[in-house]
A and B are shown apart, each in its own frame.
Chain A
Amino acid sequence: AQKVTQAQTEISVVEKEDVTLDCVYETRDTTYYLFWYKQPPSGELVFLIRRNSFDEQNEISGRYSWNFQKSTSSFNFTITASQVVDSAVYFCALSEGPQGAQKLVFGQGTRLTINP
């Protein structure tokens, strides 16, 4: 069965610190996709990134970067020079392979608080 584990329930750091959110997944599929979504206090879900299982290149987008390692089944998310606006709950998610039903399996989320 597919599973996504975000072991860090809550993280609190001071502004400008770097912070890494961990995500570990389990799947039997050879083709799968991984996602990160952000849920700010206003409650909506904001898409951040999508990565397929054949692309292990790390990605950087401004202050955000993602490290995908198939060997450890991890897809970690780092925020550099954190800002108060980064405070949110962050969800990692996994979707099934090509024959799957496209549903997303979410981790429990990590609540990130950036203190001024």
Chain B
Amino acid sequence: NAGVMQNPRHLVRRRGQEARLRCSPMKGHSHVYWYRQLPEEGLKFMVYLQKENIIDESGMPKERFSAEFPKEGPSILRIQQVVRGDSAAYFCASSGRTAYQETQYFGPGTRLLVL
């Protein structure tokens, strides 16, 4: 029973490049959440998506960041023109069909390093 999958696990980008982080939810889950963990800090909510819909993006930076969860395929968190301050661990979580206060299960995270 595969858990939440994220790839790549580590990503190195130079300033100004684009970063694409992928997340495949747990089987049977249709709700995806992205969180960011800055060094030595807790996790901060970024965005909550269902298939083809963004439900809550209140934690997303206003510029350069976008997320999608297409009908087919993984959820993508995209960061354009990365800056050093984007270096962090990005975690994806998924929950079940109802989503109502269901437990969010996390993937292993993608560690993004911006040089």
B108 CB–A CB distance under 8 Å: yes
* B window 37-85: CB within 8 A of A: 41-45, 48, 55-56, 58-59
Which chain B positions have C-beta within 8 A of A50?
103
* Nearest CB of chain A from residue B40's CB, rounded to whole Å: 9
> Would A102 and B95 be within 8 Å (CB), given that A43-B109, A95-B101 are in contact?
yes
> Would A102 and B42 be within 8 Å (CB), given that A43-B89, A43-B108, A45-B106 are in contact?
no
> Would A101 and B56 be within 8 Å (CB), given that A45-B91, A106-B44, A109-B42 are in contact?
yes
Q: Let me know if A47 and B45 touch, CB within 8 A.
A: no
**Majority secondary structure, B binding face:** strand
> Would A103 and B42 be within 8 Å (CB), given that A35-B103, A43-B108, A45-B109 are in contact?
no
Q: In the complex, how many residues of chain B place their beta carbon closer than 8 angstroms to a beta carbon of chain A?
A: 28
* Nearest CB of chain A from residue B26's CB, rounded to whole Å: 11
> Would A44 and B45 be within 8 Å (CB), given that A95-B101, A101-B55, A102-B95 are in contact?
no
Q: Let me know if B109 and A44 touch, CB within 8 A.
A: yes
* Nearest CB of chain B from residue A83's CB, rounded to whole Å: 23
Which residue of A is nearest B107, CB measured? A44
Could you write out 21 A-B pairs with CB less than 8 Å apart?
A35-B103, A37-B106, A43-B89, A43-B108, A43-B111, A44-B106, A44-B108, A44-B109, A47-B105, A50-B103, A95-B101, A101-B55, A101-B56, A102-B48, A102-B99, A102-B100, A103-B45, A104-B45, A106-B43, A107-B42, A108-B41
- Known contacts A47-B106, A102-B95, then 5 further A-B pairs from the complex at CB < 8 Å, ordered by chain A residue: A35-B103, A43-B109, A47-B105, A101-B55, A103-B56
